Amino acid sequence: MTASVEARRDSVVRQLQRRLDLAFARMRGVHPRHCPVCDTTSWFAAFGHPPRNDARCCHCGALERHRLFMLYVTRTAFFAPDQRLLHFAPERQLSAHVRAAVGVYETADLDPALRVTHHINIEATGLPDAEYDRIICNHVLEHVNDAKALTEIFRLLKPGGRAILSTPVIEGWAQTYENPAITDPAGRKLHFGQHDHVRFFGRDIRDRIRAAGFALEEFAAVEPDVLAYGLNRGETLFIATRPAG
């Protein structure tokens, strides 16, 4: 295939994808849901590839994982005004809420084009030891060397500090699926679900988190919350605590 033909094909694919995204945004669910992020009740839109019904709040754009996060932090009083917090790859749906709930709110991302506090690699941040009371790391571990990232998160937390970790998990798989031979975007999308993912975690993600030294708790999407808030059944937040001792 010549470069010009490939370019035209890619352009057509992008146009079709934009049309599909617009169509998904217009698809409404059959049952109104409540969004705990913006505190509104409405019919949610479809989102994703393939599309998930009732996935996206039409008011604030919150997805299922954002709503699950908000339920957890609200119900557990996870944040406090005297805390210092670091938010990796900060989601716009959550940033304002978290910023208002803690004393010092810092953000981090590797992309130099983003407006964040720190342009750093989560695998080796260069930030001081035991600096943070709380860390948020949503849908990052599937993109990076998770062992290095978890070790770094452990180092950055104060003793007794806690991190919220979330990532896609295939609970039916005992072992995480990785293949270092898959390096091109098309291959990664085929194998791992997205062009920049490097693994699909299995239920052994718990062992991988504990291997970094963390104590582990979980908060899963169950009924009646799934129906009320439009959550993914069984989606789980992993609450990792650096032991105080």
Task: Note the pLDDT tens digit of each residue in 134-180.
Answer: 999 999 999 899 999 999 999 999 999 999 999 999 999 999 999 88
Q: Which residues pair with 69 in a beta bridge?
A: none
DSSP 171-236: TT-SS-EE-TT--SHHHHHHHHSSTT--EEEETTHHHHHHHTT-EEEEEE--TTHHHHHTPPTT-E
Position 10 confidence tier, pLDDT thresholds 50, 70, 90:
low
CB-based contact 45:23 (threshold 8 Å): no
Mean pLDDT for 57-77 is: 97
Q: Report pLDDT for 107.
A: 98
Average pLDDT along the chain: 91
Q: How confident is the model at residue 7, as a pLDDT?
A: 63
Q: Give the pLDDT score at 81.
A: 98
Residue type, 3: A
The more confidently predicted of residues 46 and 5 is 46
| Measured distance CA(86)–CA(105) in Å, rounded | 6
Domain spanning 63-241: CATH 3.40.50.150:
yes
> For 171-222, what is each residue's pLDDT tens digit?
999 999 998 888 888 888 878 887 878 799 999 999 999 999 999 999 999 9
Biggest CA pair distance of the chain: 62
pLDDT of the residue at 30: 74
Question: What digits encode the pLDDT tens for the residues 106-142?
Answer: 999 999 999 999 999 999 999 999 999 999 999 999 9
In the chain, domain spans: 1-62, 63-241
